[in-house]
C-alpha cells in the first residue's frame, strides 16, 4: 500500500507524494509533485507589459503576521493570453471579481508535478504541439525533448521544471479543446487558479498576459529562485498528520532553538494534515527532531532547492519586479485566485505586486479550495502533469467532481 502525501512544492507548489507504507514515524526525502487545472488559454504572440515594484513584507521574522494571514485562510481562443482576451483595468477596479460565484474551475499544477514523459499526448494535437515549438524560440533549447526523455534529475531542476510545467499545462488546455465537447467545457470555466507556479499558468489562460510573456516570466522566476536558494542554507519539510495550529506550535518550538537566520515558518497551507514548513537548515532539522513529540505522523524532507515562499526568496523579488515592470498585464477575463491572499484580483498593477510578493509569501491553497467549494463550485478540472490537485480537493470534499486532463 502507498501513502499519498499532498504537498505544495516550490515556492511551494502543492504536491502529491507517493510513498511506501510508513513506520510509526519517519522522515524521508522525496521529490514533490503538484498539479492544478485552470481555464484554457489562447496562445498569441502579442506581448503585454506593465510595471510596478513591490517588495514582500512577509519574512521569517513576521511570524505573527504570517500566522494571522494563514489562519484566516484565507472566447474561444487558444490559450487565452492574447490582447483580445484581457483589457486594461482602471485603478480602483481590483475588487471587480470579489463576489464571484464559481461553477466550473480550471486548476493548474506547480513545481513538483513534472514527470519524464509528459508532453507526449500533446504531440497528437497540432495546437498543443505548437506551444512547445514556440517555447523553444524563447528558451533557446528543446523543451519537449527534456520533458519526454529527461533525465529526471535534469527535469526536476527549478530552472527547467517551471517552464516545462507551464507549457505542458497550457498544452493540456489544447488537448481538451480538441476532444468532443472540449470547447464547451473551456467556455464554461468561470474561475481559475494554480499552485504557486500554476498561478502564472492560470493568469495566461485568463488572458492577463500572452503565452510568450508568461513563459519569459516563468523562466526568470525559476532562475531567480534557484539563485536565491543557492545564497543560503535552507530547506523545506512536509509535516503529515497535524492541523495548522499544531504545525505552527511545532515551528515556534523549533525557532526557540535556533538563531534568526535559521527560523522556520509554514510556507504552504495545502490541506488539513499536510503543511510544508520552510526555513533555515538548522531550523528544519529542529522541526524534524521535535515532530514526533507533537504527534506528527511523519515528516518528509522535500527535494527542492531551498526555502521557497519565505524571506529566503527575497533576493528574487527585485528581479521579478523588473521583469513584471516590462511585461504588459491586463485585467483577467475571469477571476484568478491569488496564492498570497486566496482572493481574485482585477487590477493589473495589483496583480504585478502580488506576483512579486508570491515567492516570499505562504501559499494559501487550503483557503482557496475551501472558498471555491463553499461558494458553490460544481466541477473542476486539473490541467497538466500529475494528479495532486485532484487528491487535495477530494480530501477536502470526497464528493467533489474533478477531472484530470493531461498532455
CA distance 114 to 100: 31
Q: Find how far residue 353's CA is from the centre of its chain.
A: 16
Taking Cα atoms as reference points, which of 359, 352, 354 lies closest to residue 329? 352
Do β-strands 234-240 and 298-302 pair in parallel, antiparallel, or remain unpaired? antiparallel
Question: Cα(201)–Cα(16) distance, rounded to whole angstroms?
Answer: 19
Nearest to 139, CA basis, from 119, 161, 170, 172: 161
> For residue 40, which of 87, 85, 9, 94 has the smallest C-alpha distance?
85
Q: Which residues of 247-258 are buried (b: 16+ CB within 10 A; e: fewer)?
A: bbebbebbbeeb
3-state secondary structure of 373: helix
CA 158 – CA 305 distance, rounded (Å): 7
Catalytic site residue 309?
A: yes
DSSP 28: E
Contact 228, 26 (CB under 8 A): no
**151 upstream amide cis, omega within 30 of 0:** yes
Q: Is 76 exposed, middle or buried (0-12, 13-18, 19+ CB in 10 A)?
A: exposed
SS3 content of the chain, % helix, strand, coil (to 5): 45, 20, 40
Distance of CA 335 to the CA centre of its chain: 16
Which candidate in 34, 70, 169, 196 is catalytic? 196
Verify whether residue 196 is a known catalytic residue.
yes
Residue found by looking up cell 465537447 in the block: 181
Integer CA distances (angstroms), 319 to 198, 201, 217, 233, in order = 19, 19, 10, 21
* Active-site position among 15, 309, 361, 380: 309
Q: Point out the residues that are catalytic.
A: 196, 309
Amino acid at each position: 500500500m502507498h501513502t499519498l502525501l499532498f504537498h505544495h512544492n516550490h515556492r511551494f507548489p502543492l504536491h502529491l507524494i507517493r510513498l511506501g507504507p510508513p513506520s510509526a514515524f519517519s522522515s524521508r526525502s522525496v521529490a514533490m509533485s503538484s498539479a492544478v487545472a485552470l481555464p484554457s488559454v489562447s496562445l498569441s504572440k502579442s506581448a503585454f507589459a506593465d510595471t510596478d515594484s513591490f517588495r514582500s513584507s512577509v519574512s521569517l521574522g513576521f511570524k505573527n503576521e504570517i500566522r494571522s494571514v494563514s489562519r484566516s485562510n484565507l472566447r474561444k481562443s487558444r490559450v487565452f493570453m492574447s490582447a483580445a482576451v484581457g483589457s486594461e483595468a482602471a485603478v480602483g477596479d481590483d475588487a471587480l471579481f470579489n463576489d464571484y460565484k464559481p461553477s466550473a474551475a480550471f486548476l493548474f499544477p506547480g513545481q513538483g508535478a513534472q514527470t519524464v514523459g509528459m508532453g507526449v499526448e500533446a504531440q497528437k494535437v497540432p495546437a498543443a504541439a505548437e506551444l512547445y515549438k514556440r517555447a523553444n524560440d524563447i528558451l533557446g533549447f528543446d523543451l519537449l525533448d527534456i520533458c519526454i526523455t529527461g533525465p529526471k534529475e535534469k527535469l526536476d531542476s527549478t530552472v527547467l521544471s517551471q517552464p516545462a510545467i507551464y507549457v505542458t499545462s497550457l498544452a493540456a488546455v489544447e488537448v481538451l479543446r480538441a476532444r468532443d465537447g472540449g470547447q464547451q467545457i473551456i467556455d464554461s470555466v468561470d474561475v481559475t487558479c494554480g499552485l504557486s507556479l500554476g498561478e502564472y499558468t492560470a493568469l495566461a489562460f485568463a488572458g492577463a498576459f500572452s503565452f510568450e510573456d508568461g513563459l519569459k516570466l516563468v523562466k526568470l522566476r525559476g532562475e531567480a529562485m534557484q539563485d536565491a536558494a543557492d545564497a543560503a542554507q535552507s530547506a523545506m519539510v512536509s509535516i503529515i498528520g497535524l492541523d495548522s495550529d499544531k504545525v505552527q506550535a511545532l515551528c515556534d518550538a523549533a525557532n526557540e532553538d535556533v538563531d534568526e537566520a535559521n527560523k522556520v515558518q509554514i510556507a504552504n497551507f495545502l490541506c488539513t494534515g499536510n503543511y510544508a514548513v520552510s526555513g533555515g537548515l538548522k531550523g528544519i532539522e529542529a522541526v524534524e527532531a521535535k515532530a514526533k513529540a507533537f504527534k506528527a505522523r511523519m515528516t518528509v524532507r522535500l527535494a527542492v532547492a531551498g526555502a521557497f515562499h519565505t524571506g529566503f526568496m527575497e533576493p528574487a523579488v527585485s528581479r521579478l519586479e523588473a521583469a513584471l515592470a516590462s511585461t504588459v498585464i491586463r485585467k483577467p477575463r475571469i477571476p484568478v485566485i491569488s496564492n498570497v491572499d486566496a482572493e481574485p484580483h482585477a487590477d493589473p498593477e495589483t496583480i504585478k505586486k502580488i506576483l512579486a510578493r508570491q515567492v516570499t509569501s505562504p501559499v494559501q491553497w487550503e483557503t482557496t479550495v475551501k472558498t471555491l467549494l463553499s461558494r458553490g463550485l460544481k466541477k473542476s478540472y486539473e490541467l497538466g502533469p500529475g494528479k495532486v490537485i485532484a487528491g487535495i480537493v477530494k480530501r477536502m470534499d470526497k464528493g467533489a467532481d474533478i477531472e484530470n486532463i493531461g498532455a
